[in-house]
Amino acid sequence: MFHFLITVCLWSTAVFAFVEELDGSFKDIKNDDVWLVDFYAPWCGYCKKLEPVWNDVGAELKRSGSPVRIGKMDATAFTGVASDFGVRGYPTIKLIKGEASYNYKGPRSKDAIIEFANRLAGPVLRSLPSKQMFEHVLRRHDVLFVYVGGVSPLKDKYTEMASELIVHTYFFSALEDVLPETVTLNEVPAVLVFKDGGHFVYDEYADGSLSSWVSRERFLSYLPIDGYTLYDLGDTGKLVAIVIIDEKNPTEDSIRLRNLVQRVATEYRDHYNRDVQFGHMDGSEYINSLIMGEISVPSIIMLNATSEQYFLPKKPVSTLEELLLFINSVLDGTAEGHGGDGVIQRVKRLAYDAKSTVQSVFRSSPILGCFLFGLPVAVISLMCYVLCTASAADDGTEDLKQDEEDEDEEDEEDEGQGRPALLDTTEETNKSIMDKKVD
């Protein structure tokens, strides 16, 4: 047992050694290496939840020989450093590479964080020198961007764009002779994206700017969607068509609706790809909180991820024609919109979030909820009672003083009236005595 405890202690020490606790001197050493840093607050619940994952990330990066050093910093203790890096919330994960820093906004999972770190630690453009390497990378990535050709103005644009969007996806370069035999290019240089079992070539005249095209194409045409993905989709400018399903208990209706949306995403790609992203979400809880309402399962919703405006079909969708009619009505502006980011909606959002927070606290810990919300109510009630009591006491004192002043005035009046009477009696007595002396 003793040896087991020693082993556990040594293992824990080794794990924590992979994560360096940083202080104010970090700004002087940050340029020496590539750093992945968790800016946290000691009281933050999300930070505490991330801590074991962060330790696993540190151990894995060390074991794999990654050049990325992993650290964490108490942003409440070193506010100046945190402010320099633009930290506004906790936890904030940043990869710092020289003078550049990149925010991580993906899932708080070990694999996702490690993939982010390895992608940004390497070169902006990764070369594919052979067919074997190209095929290997193609199998490894669901979405693959490749520049084909030599030095050109297009490559300069591609490199500049890649340096900005490397935070989201990988970018590769290759010569034409390493491409699969199924790929035929009308001209070189060119930029291609490989996804959905095929490839698509960037056309400056039809697709607009290269960065906009990459932002739109960096997702599969149909994909699973969660809160992180939905947030990320806000940068594409697309509407998001989401099938709400229950993956644990799939029904015939949910399977049918999901197949319909997948079919539209594939067969009508050329028609909708610029404006609509398709996918499904497991469960309605996240969408319910977003629209501040209840949505049935299964169902379909179209959402503007930027403005939080959403659209629902007037009746259940059961055929391909009904689905296309609904999507087209949203795109042409004839569908009724709900939600949005107006003033009234913002006020409703504040009230809804406050209500949800209170309910969440009481569901997870009723005792803590009573303490957090009962204590302020008790303090406010006590203060009101003290103020009211003090006011009543002040009123009574004033009345008492007034009564005393009134009594004093009455005494003075009595005294003023009594003295002449006493004086008259004395004078009569003295007069009697003088009369007796005369007699």
Please give the CATH architecture assigned to the domain spanning 126-218.
3-Layer(aba) Sandwich (3.40)
List residues with catalytic annotation.
44, 47
Mean pLDDT (whole number) for 43-56: 93
Q: Is the pLDDT of residue 34 over 80?
A: yes
Residue 22 is classified by DSSP as P
Rounded to an integer, the average pLDDT of 33-58 is 94
Which parts of 85-190 fold into alpha helices (H)? 110-121, 131-140, 153-165
- Could you report the per-residue pLDDT of 379-421, keeping only the tens digit for each? 777 777 777 776 555 544 444 444 445 555 545 444 444 444 4
Q: How confident is the model at residue 30 (pLDDT cuts 50, 70, 90)?
A: confident
Residue 360: closest CA among 285, 297, 248, 293:
285
Cα 395 versus chain centre, distance: 53
pLDDT band at 439 (very low <50, low <70, confident <90, very high): very low
Q: How far apart are CA 106 and CA 232, in angstroms?
A: 8
Q: Which of 97, 93, 31, 36 is nearest to 61 (CA)?
A: 36
DSSP H/E element including 190: strand 190-195
Q: Is the pTM of this model over 0.85?
A: no
Question: Which amino acid makes up residue 280?
Answer: H
pLDDT > 90 in the chain, percent = 60
Strands 171-174 and 144-148: parallel
- For residue 6, the model assigns a pLDDT of 42
Domain with CATH 3.40.30.10 in the chain: 20-121, 126-218, 222-343
Judged by DSSP in three states, 90 sits in coil
Please give the average per-residue pLDDT across 350-377, as a whole number. Answer: 63
Distance between CA atoms of residues 263 and 242, nearest Å: 13
pLDDT tens sequence across 263-282: 999 999 999 999 999 999 99
The pairing of beta strand 100-104 with beta strand 126-128:
unpaired
Bridge partners (DSSP) listed for residue 279: 223, 242
pLDDT band at 354 (very low <50, low <70, confident <90, very high): low
State the pairing for strand pair 92-97/34-40. antiparallel
Q: What is the pLDDT of residues 328-348, one digit of tens each?
A: 999 999 999 998 777 776 776
Taking domain 20-121, whether its CATH number is 1.10.10.10 is answered by no
Query: What homologous superfamily does CATH list for 222-343?
Result: Glutaredoxin (3.40.30.10)
Mean predicted confidence (pLDDT) in 165-182: 93
Query: Which residues are within 8 A (CB) of 101 and not within 5 positions of it... i.e. 6 or more apart?
Result: 85, 86, 94, 95
Question: CA distances (Å), 179 to each of 171, 175, 214, 270, in order?
Answer: 15, 8, 20, 24
Phi, psi torsion values for 51, nearest 5 degrees? -55, -50
pLDDT digits (tens, 9 = 90+) for 277-304: 999 999 999 999 888 888 999 999 999 9
pLDDT value for 110: 94
Residue 103, pLDDT > 80, answer: yes
∠ CA 75-80-83 to the nearest 5 degrees? 75
Position 10 pLDDT exceeds 60: no
